[in-house]
Structure 1
Amino acid sequence: MLKTKVKCAGFLESLWRDIDMNRLQCDASDDLNLIIVSHGLASRVFLMKWFKWTVEQFEYLNNFGNAEFRVIQLGFGGEYSLAIHHSDEELQEWGLSLEMIADQKWRAQATKGDWNENCPWYLDAFFDKLADSDDNVEGDCDFDGK
């Protein structure tokens, strides 16, 4: 899986670069639609990287069936989601947890202003939601290192 993840990461970086540099569409007023044809593992890794899913979440995903597809569609707030085109039942059949489905629904409806405060995947995995304190606790260092 690691080798596939690295290849998908490189593909995503290249894809974003091509989109940002407008290499994929001749007329900027046209909507950009991309079709990615792949096999099950690479498709699941692509979804994992795109939606920032954990390895544990990835492991519950089912491979695509023959000629099966997923549509990632741009939501109203500028975030892509599986929940715009697909039903909750489809998402559950594919192995998405209730938390992942809720995230997909949020992505479909959220506005960019909501991202910083209410986004379920925005920094929550890295930082605790603790109240800030201006008081120095005994033993804390000041900015000058004292």
Structure 2
Amino acid sequence: MVRPHRIVLLRHGESEGNADDTVYEREPDHALRLTPTGLTQAEAAGEQLRALFGEEGVSAYVSPYRRTLETFRALRLDPRRVRAREEPRLREQDWGNWQDREDVKRQKAYRDAYGHFFYRFAQGESGADVYDRVGAFLESLYRSFEAPDHPPNVLLVTHGLTMRLFCMRWFHWSVAEFECLSNPENGSFRTLVLGSDGRYRLDRPFERWTTPESFDLGG
């Protein structure tokens, strides 16, 4: 099995929905584009990633949302060294279809009180649902490592919540630990780096907005 040296998780650049949440009332979430600021963020991330990857190969998986596809395109990675594919399991948390702004504000307040992992949006998903499909993706990713020519780098172009849930699943974080973490900024990334001991470590932590509650599961 060829284990990659790095697994990079990149959040898309600023989207139209990040800049103006009323757009969800008239545009599907999956169709929202990058703003000019988002494009600049993606291009800046591309400069960093090109320096990080150097001449090494990359296996890239991209959420099928327009803003993630535009982000990947703006990275300007060398196509001779990148194997890229769409991966629907890395999409944003589904919130239903066209959104009523006041209803979403109300549901977000409910989610804050109920918990981001367990709260399910009407007609949409809970964080737990996203966790399950990220787990299914991880099984496919592990199998890809069996290829003798697997590149030394993996890149996932995805969404903030999905990034946190990927790390939760990979590192076996508790629900309480997940609940205390904030999304990374648009256009920023985190890297799982393979150590000499064969274990992956996160290059830098997610910001915390609170301290997680601790439970002892010992017998």
Q: Which amino acid in structure 2 is aligned with residue 14 of structure 1? A: S
User: 1:67 maps to what in 2?
Assistant: 187
5 Å-filtered alignment, 1:1-146, equals 1-19=127-145, 21-22=146-147, 25=150, 32-82=152-202, 85-86=203-204, 91=205, 94-95=207-208, 127-128=218-219
Contact 2:180 2:211 in 1 (8 A): no
Contact 2:181 2:207 in 1 (8 A): yes
Name the SS of the counterpart of 1:73 in structure 2: strand
Larger Rg over CA atoms: 1
1:79 to 1:63, Cα distance in 2 relative to 1, 3 A: same
Superimposed CA distance per residue, residues 91-115 of structure 1 (whole angstroms, 9 cap, x where no aligned partner):
2x6229999xxxxxxxxxxxxxxxx
1:3 to 1:60, Cα distance in 2 relative to 1, 3 A: same
Query: Where does structure 2 lack aligned partners over 5 or more consecutive residues?
Result: 1-126
Instruction: Give the Cα–Cα distance (whole angstroms) in 1 for the partners of residues 148 and 137 of structure 2.
Output: 15
- Flag the structure with more relative contact order, 1 or 2, with Cα contacts below 8 A and sequence separation at least 6: 2
1:49 to 1:24, Cα distance in 2 relative to 1, 3 A: farther
Q: Which amino acid in structure 2 is aligned with residue 73 of structure 1? A: V
CA drift of 1:64 comes to: 1.2
Query: Where does structure 1 lack aligned partners over 5 or more consecutive residues?
Result: 26-30, 100-124, 129-146
Q: How many residues align?
A: 90
Instruction: Give the Cα–Cα distance (whole angstroms) in 2 for the partners of residues 71 and 94 of structure 1.
Output: 15
Instruction: Give the Cα–Cα distance (whole angstroms) in 2 for the partners of residues 72 and 14 of structure 1.
Output: 17
Q: Which amino acid in structure 2 is aligned with residue 44 of structure 1? A: R
1:32 to 1:50, Cα distance in 2 relative to 1, 3 A: same
Give me the identity figure in percent: 33
Contact 1:57 1:96 in 2 (8 A): no
1:59 to 1:98, Cα distance in 2 relative to 1, 3 A: closer
Instruction: Give the Cα–Cα distance (whole angstroms) in 2 for the partners of residues 24 and 98 of structure 1.
Output: 42
1:126 to 1:17, Cα distance in 2 relative to 1, 3 A: farther
After the TM superposition, list the runs of 4 or more consecutive aligned residues in structure 1 that deviate by more than 4 angstroms.
96-99
Instruction: Give the Cα–Cα distance (whole angstroms) in 1 for the partners of residues 148 and 196 of structure 2.
Output: 24
Instruction: Give the Cα–Cα distance (whole angstroms) in 2 for the partners of residues 36 and 3 of structure 1.
Output: 19
1:52 to 1:97, Cα distance in 2 relative to 1, 3 A: farther
